[in-house]
Structure 1
Amino acid sequence: MSLLLLGFILLAGGCSSSVKSTPEDKNITAIKTVLKHQFTGPTAEFIEGLDNTKKLEQYYEKSYKSFFTEDMYTKFISAHAYDYLLMAHNSEQQLKVDQVSVESDKTTEGTYKFKVVVLYDTEGTNQGSAEVSGRVKFNKEGKIASISYLDDGGLSTELRN
Structure 2
Amino acid sequence: MAAAATGATPIGSRARPAPTAAIVVVAGVARAPAPVAQVLRESRVRRIAGEAPGHRRRRDAMLRAISAHLPGARVHGAAAGPHLRVTFAGAAFADTALAARALAPALGVKAHPMSWHHVRPGPPRLVLGHAGGPPGEPEEGVALLGRALSRHR
TM-score w.r.t. length of structure 2: 0.28
Length-normalised TM-score, structure 1? 0.27
